[in-house]
Each structure stands twice: as C-alpha cells, then as structure tokens.
Amino acid sequence: MSILRKLSTNKVALFGLIVLVFLVLVAIFGPYLYETSPWKMVNRPFLPPMENTDLMLGTDTMGRDVLAGLVYGARISLLVGLISTMIALLIGVPLGATAGYFGGWIDEALMRFTEIFQTVPSFALAIVIVAIFEPSVYSITIAIALVSWPPVARLVRGEFLALRNQEYVLAARLNGQTNRNIILREILPNTLSPIIVMASLMVATAILLESALSFLGLGDPEIMSWGYMIGAARTVIRQAWWLSFFPGVAIAITVLALNLVGEGLNEALNPKLSGKRES
C-alpha cells in the first residue's frame, strides 16, 4: 500500500493534504492570477474588509491590498519554511548519522557540539543571528535553519544507534563495503520515515518562527510575507484588527495542515501505528 493510499484512508490527514496542496498552488500561481501588487497603494489606508468589492479584505496602513499581500506572501512564507528545513536536514542528518554509526569519541564530540546550540533557547538564538546579519529573508532562513538542526541530529543518531548492529549491516561489513556505502545505502534508507515526519513538522515551526521574528520587527522590509504583514500591523492592532487577523489565520491554517499531514505520515510510515489503525 503506497503512502498516498494510506493517507487517503486517514480523513484528517487527507484534509490537511488537500489544504496544503491548495496553499502550494496559491503560492505558485496566485501572483499570476491576482496581479495586483502587494506594494501598490490602491485605496485609502485602513479600509475595512467587505466595504469595497474590489478589496475584499480591505487595505493596510499604506492603502495596499491585504488580499494581494496574502497571495504574494504565501510564496515567501512557504519558501522560508521549506528552504530552512532543507538546510537543517543537510546539517543534522550527516552529523547524526556520523555520530550514531561510529560512536565512541566521535559521537561524544558531535553530541557536545550539538548541545552548544541547544543550551540557548532556539528563538533567542534566532533573534541574535538575524540581528547580527541584519534582517533579510536570507538571514532569517539561515537563522531558522541553524536553530532547527539539533533535533534532527539527535533523531538520526538514535536511529543509527539502533540499526548499526542489525544483521544486514553486519553482512554488509563482512562483504567489504565501505562505511560510506553502509551509511548511505544500508542504514539511511531505513531512517527516512521518521526524518520525513520530522521535516513536515519543521516546516510548520519555521513558518511560525519567521512570523514571530517579523512581529518583533526583524522581518525583511523589502519582501512581502505573512510574517511581515503581522509585524507591520503590530502597532495598529486595535485600530485595524484585520491587518494581523487575516495573515494570522493563513499561518494557523498552514501550520495546522502541516501538522495533520505530519501525523498522517507518521501513521502511514510507522508499521506499529498502521497496524493499530487497521485493527
């Protein structure tokens, strides 16, 4: 049974997947279908939602279309989440695999290095990194990646520790395969399930981190994102509630969809959970 077929039997996960696909389509095709620039002043500032049929969600502090900001911001918010997660995986997976496979002093050294990043709260560390390199979409993405990889490294290390003495790994060693081949071809494929599940949840966390940084005034002022919209509206929440409400709802829906898909993937890829559901 394929992963998609298993997900289709989980109505909650299927709902999350449909919502996520819709958001991805909006991010890809939305700017071409809704051509109003999110930076263009189209009406008076603080125009309430539904007051003008051409501006369904109203305007912001500069008279810009809020709906245009949501459509264009979807691409940046999702890209920040995806790219930061990919960078975190590129850092965490090799470190965790090396530590778990070789053990000994290599494991001790790499885990102590990992703990250095975990001694400081991830959000506080992200703030420091963004402040040092000046707020931009690049510094935000790098900051989120640097605070996200330690859990990945620990997860992969634990999986490698559990699998490195399995019979198929010992057989590969007896056949004279190199450590590199054993890691990449024998053990790593068997650890992909928990990594995929964690990655889906990491994207949601990254989107939340980006919005939190923007709310504190550390967002990229030159690129429209949901986090930037919330950050720009933080001083006028009482005067214009919709400026932070609509991007906040967009973030909440995206995070919820990613979490539902993550739970569905965990159930589909974990034989024990799948067996419990089928029984």
Question: CA torsion 190→149→208→75, rounded to 10°?
Answer: -70
Total domains present in the chain? 1
Which pLDDT value is given to residue 4?
Answer: 67
Separation CA 4–CA 265 (nearest Å):
9
Residue 107 domain-assigned? Answer: yes
Residue 143 domain-assigned? Answer: yes
Q: Which domain does 69 fall in, by range?
A: 3-44+57-278
Residues of the chain with pLDDT under 70: 1-4, 270-279
Phi, psi of 256 (to 5 degrees): -65, -45
Which tens digits make up the pLDDT trace of 37-94?
899 888 899 999 988 888 899 999 889 999 999 999 999 999 999 999 999 999 999 9
Which pLDDT value is given to residue 156?
Answer: 95
**CB 171: neighbour CB atoms within 10 A?**
11
Cβ atoms 82, 146 nearer than 8 A: no
Q: Which residue has the tokens 């560390």?
A: 125
**CB 161: neighbour CB atoms within 10 A?**
15
Cα 242 to Cα 158, 200, 239, 251, distances in angstroms: 45, 29, 9, 14
Separation CA 273–CA 214 (nearest Å):
38
Cβ atoms 163, 103 nearer than 8 A: no
Nearest CA to 80 out of 24, 26, 137 is that of 137
Q: What is the CATH number of the domain that holds 266?
A: 1.10.3720.10
Which pLDDT value is given to residue 36?
Answer: 84
Which pLDDT value is given to residue 139?
Answer: 92
Residue 52 domain-assigned? Answer: no
pTM equals: 0.88
Residue 51 domain-assigned? Answer: no
Structure tokens at 102: 């070789």
Which pLDDT value is given to residue 111?
Answer: 93
Residue 49 domain-assigned? Answer: no
